[in-house]
Chains A and B, each alone.
Chain A
């Protein structure tokens, strides 16, 4: 492998979504977006609902991810870039997203939010956030 690149791996319980080398990765961390460049210090962070982006050369790539965590570690293969492993509950490529379904989900969550309270409110808000992210990512295609 080339020196100074990140090995990015995005996995969900049902599949490996992305496995590639990248020049930089931006992850939606719990405390805000996390920019990761090659040579980043080892890190463990929680991931919330949002857009994950990674650059290969001059090209940007996007993923819609929902909840999980990210581990940045030294490359076991000895590369100087390090590895980025994202474990997400859901991760979708722009091409996989059904925009119409996401839009319907968004409307449904918005309606439900008006009358929801407590944990149901949180749940609906998460659904809404997920839907909004998916729509945004799908447009990046």
Chain B
């Protein structure tokens, strides 16, 4: 049995770890609230964008825009959104496992990678897979400008014909305890998304439906990228918060166990001392 001194030392060290994980949990709870708010604040724009796109698609028949052209998917670009840091449970592992499965899966002849987040970049570098583009700084703080930069690159790749489709792979925030690895086609823009007509009345288009389409579609792409990044950010914060929560719980259990052992050791030593005193006294009395 370890000595009382050792036990005391271990309890103290576990307790300080617990304090750390608890503090981190609080930090990420706050960050999660903020990124959840960002997701919510993006919603009105999403609704308005969908409405406008719907109204436009109702009028523009067989819209010829480079971002709408469908090609057989032979060579695709896969955008993998991971985090920058660990200590967030299976958040990064899940997304990277899925990405590896997709690359090896043989669904596409050729997969070019666009990597967001340091974890993903490091993961694929270690495996000797090169990426078409990497964005190590993006997840430090998701901004519209950052999302725009990625979206422009993707749109340019697609329009240039270098890739037949662009997919986004990211962790979707479902709830605090659930993140879902999601694969979403970004380009070409789905017909069903643009063809939800139902627009009442004839619109006046200025300058022209075609010109409007050229302003709206790139924004649609930008916004989808932004949404994926925001979602992934919220999911990451949630995952880290839960990881810290269970770490705090585990530390609590360990402290309880150690305290029990410590008390037993203390009792044993008291009992031993008592026995010594009593037997000493008896020995004196019998003399």
- Asked whether any CB of chain A lies closer than 8 Å to the CB of B207, the reply is yes
- Asked whether any CB of chain A lies closer than 8 Å to the CB of B223, the reply is yes
Query: A87–B48 contact, CB under 8 A?
Result: yes
Count A-B pairs with CB separation below 8 Å.
85
CA distance A48 to B147 in the complex (A): 21
- Asked whether any CB of chain B lies closer than 8 Å to the CB of A56, the reply is no
Counting contact residues on chain A (CB < 8 A from B), the size range is: 20 to 34
- Asked whether any CB of chain A lies closer than 8 Å to the CB of B200, the reply is yes
CA distance A95 to B205 in the complex (A): 33
Q: Which residues of B contact A41 (CB under 8 A)?
A: 201, 204
Query: B48–A85 contact, CB under 8 A?
Result: yes
**Which residues A38-74 have CB closer than 8 A to chain B?**
41-46, 67-69, 71, 73-74
Q: A44-B56, A44-B205, A74-B201 are in contact. Are A14 and B144 (CB under 8 A)?
A: yes
Which of A5-13, A102-110, A130-138 participates in binding chain B?
Answer: A5-13
Q: How far is the CB of B49 from chain A (nearest CB, A)?
A: 6
CA distance A12 to B42 in the complex (A): 8
- Asked whether any CB of chain B lies closer than 8 Å to the CB of A117, the reply is no
CA distance A13 to B228 in the complex (A): 13
Q: Is the contact region of chain A dominated by helix, strand, or loop, or is it mixed? A: strand
Q: How far is the CB of B22 from chain A (nearest CB, A)?
A: 32
Mark B7-33 against chain A: 1 for CB-CB distance below 8 A, else 0: 000000000000000000000000000
Query: A43–B52 contact, CB under 8 A?
Result: no
- Asked whether any CB of chain A lies closer than 8 Å to the CB of B131, the reply is no
- Asked whether any CB of chain A lies closer than 8 Å to the CB of B55, the reply is yes
Q: Which residues of B contact A46 (CB under 8 A)?
A: 206-207, 211-212, 215
- Asked whether any CB of chain B lies closer than 8 Å to the CB of A16, the reply is yes
Counting contact residues on chain B (CB < 8 A from A), the size range is: 20 to 34
CA distance A12 to B203 in the complex (A): 23
Q: How far is the CB of B11 from chain A (nearest CB, A)?
A: 47
Of B45, B49, B144, B201, the most chain A CB neighbours within 10 A belong to B45
CA distance A9 to B203 in the complex (A): 19
- Asked whether any CB of chain B lies closer than 8 Å to the CB of A30, the reply is yes
- Asked whether any CB of chain B lies closer than 8 Å to the CB of A1, the reply is no
Q: How far is the CB of B200 from chain A (nearest CB, A)?
A: 7
CA distance A71 to B54 in the complex (A): 12
Q: Which residues of A contact B41 (CB under 8 A)?
A: 14-16
Of B48, B200, B212, the most chain A CB neighbours within 10 A belong to B48
Query: B38–A30 contact, CB under 8 A?
Result: no
- Asked whether any CB of chain B lies closer than 8 Å to the CB of A23, the reply is no
Q: List 13 A-B contacts (CB under 8 A).
A: A11-B48, A12-B45, A12-B144, A14-B45, A31-B206, A34-B206, A42-B203, A44-B52, A45-B205, A46-B207, A69-B216, A87-B48, A87-B49
